[in-house]
Amino acid sequence: MPESPATEQLAVNTIKALAMDAVQSANSGHPGMPMGMADIAVTLWSRFINVDPDDPEWPDRDRFVLSNGHGSMLLYSILHLSGFGLSLDDIRNFRQWGSHTAGHPEIDHKLGIEMTTGPLGQGFATGVGMAVAETHLRSRLGADLVNHRTYGFISDGDLMEGISSEAASMAGHFGLGRLIYLYDDNRITIDGSTEITFSEDVAAKFSAQGWHTLRVDGHDREAIGQAIEESFSVEDRPSLVICRTHIASGAPNLQDTSASHGQPLGHEEIKMTKEAMGYPIDPAFWVDDSVYHFFRTAMNRGRNAHEEWSRRIDRATQGQRTLWQSLHSTSEVSLDGPGFEVGEKVASRASSGRLFTEIAEKVPGFIGGSADLAGSTKTVIDSSRLFSKNDRAASDIPFGIREHSMGALVNGMAIHGGLRPYGATFFIFSDYMRPAVRLSALMGVPSIWVWTHDSIFLGEDGPTHQPIEHLASLRAMPNLWVIRPADANETIAAWEIALNRNDGPVALALTRQGLPTMEPHPGGVSKGGYVVREGSDVTLIATGSEVPLILDAADLLAGEGVTARVVSLPCWELFFEQSDEYRSDVLGSAPRVSVEAGSTFGWTAIVGSDGLSIGIDHFGASAPAGELAVRIHS
């Protein structure tokens, strides 16, 4: 509990002052939200949240997501004052090169920053994924080892983004009772009052989605505290505490104005605000020692919780400890596969699906699901069980037709730790997931994206379902490894890569149609590309379902006296990580021709300016796959 109301108020005023000073110094940023949510932040951090500045990555810590990440100075101030690794110099250098205080929070668990929250709604949905991870692990390991909550600050902007509605629906449906969001209901957006665009009854909407809702004055710290305590008692529903706040609270001229949202208040307004608070005007970035003492004493609550958890770990059963260690293991995963015969024709979505039992046995944290397409994507771990309110230990999550939030929930589970999550849908619907996929790459979290029906050869569903530009578009995304396997053996290797990568996401693009199984080439996929057949007159290069096609083409050319080198290039990103010598050895010195059932954009990087790229630079058509193969270029 706070030492005194006066010290607590000084803590609130300090957060406001640091936010004003940092944004003014940077001449860039969002001071209004930190000032408006300072009372909420002080209440949560001083009275409730269990985190340990001495060990910020303690696995059973409470998770905190600042979904309205434009107000990042609120988080940076709290972390600095609480004794995490953010210095006052970091605060002074807000938004500057080399500082840990970026414009929007970027994931850094060592500093207490849980995730990247730039795009509104992503934090909301990612927090739901963290809560899914918590309840799943709690169900499997017991409350002695998993006993934390997920908190989030959210805004009007978060609630306007469609992803939040998707995620809120799932959170309510699954009854994630240890998820508590505090809503900054300041009724101001960049363009003015929310009245111009946002008039829904938020409490009624969330209640209808299965949430426990409360309304409080967002500047009444006792009321905020009571609402959080009440939320603790509701175990079968997530909680939304609607906090009526005033943006830029305390600023004489800019409180409750959109002008305070995304620009400095100005020196004169800062002076008047500090005078009104009774806070020293100079020097900037001043912090009273009592405020440091206030926050750092409050953090003893988390330190004590950490110590108690460590004792519970020591007292855990052998079974609990073994499962805990296997869930958090980083040992290499090797897959045997079910034994695909050379020549056997298997769609890569099907060969992928036949690996799931083995993956689940070797990776206890394997969890995920599809966007209502499990039968088509072949992504089922245990067909007899689905994750639900009544079976939280199940590993198959029915995400429903919610690709966007599915992506964010997968990210949340991956960020939480202890799990190896995936999300699956048709490749064309990766468009709906793209913001979450991009954040997985930006944050460097090991989310696995399984995308099936990867080309025009899904056939009769037509151009709305036929991905054309998607491979090129996703290959352009930094730190995302896109793997398009050519057969069952390459699919095994692709899954091994996905399960063993810990510093970023992997996407698997899988076929609907059958592909003949080739002789295995150990290590070829892990290098991104390899020689399937030697030849010296021309180099034919393909990915996925087009590798069998160029093998057939090589046979035809051989009949004409032309020897063709055949190269499978399942992962460009891994191929470009190899040495110049390796890449040159694989591609050879002969003229190069690429073949892929997608856009030719980007292939010049492989075939060179003198090479030839055969692909599809227009939308597809509705017809059987075999007919499309013949007619698509006619």
CB burial of 608-622 (b: ≥16 within 10 Å; e: otherwise) equals eeebebbbbeeebee
- In order of 359, 459, 462, 625, the CA distances from 456 in angstroms are 29, 6, 8, 7
- Return the closest-CA partner of residue 413 out of 144, 125, 140: 125
CA distance 283 to 23: 15
Tally of CB atoms within 10 A around 275? 12
Strand partners, 530: 568
d(CA 554, CA 542): 12
User: Are 52 and 58 in contact, with CB atoms under 8 Å apart?
Assistant: yes
Q: Is 403 a catalytic residue?
A: yes
Contact between 96 and 136 under an 8 Å Cβ cutoff? The reply is: no
Measure CA of the first residue to CA of the last residue in the chain; give whole Å. Answer: 75
Question: Distances from the Cα of 183 to the Cαs of 9, 205, 557, in angstroms?
Answer: 21, 14, 66
Q: What is the torsional sign of CA 98, 101, 105, 110?
A: positive
Bridge partners of 225?
A: none
Q: C-alpha distances in angstroms, 233 versus 175, 212, 228?
A: 13, 11, 9
Q: Which of 134, 403, 490, 573 is catalytic?
A: 403
For 64, the 3-state DSSP assignment is strand
Q: Measuring CA to CA, which residue among 467, 449, 355 is closest to residue 406? A: 449
Catalytic positions: 403
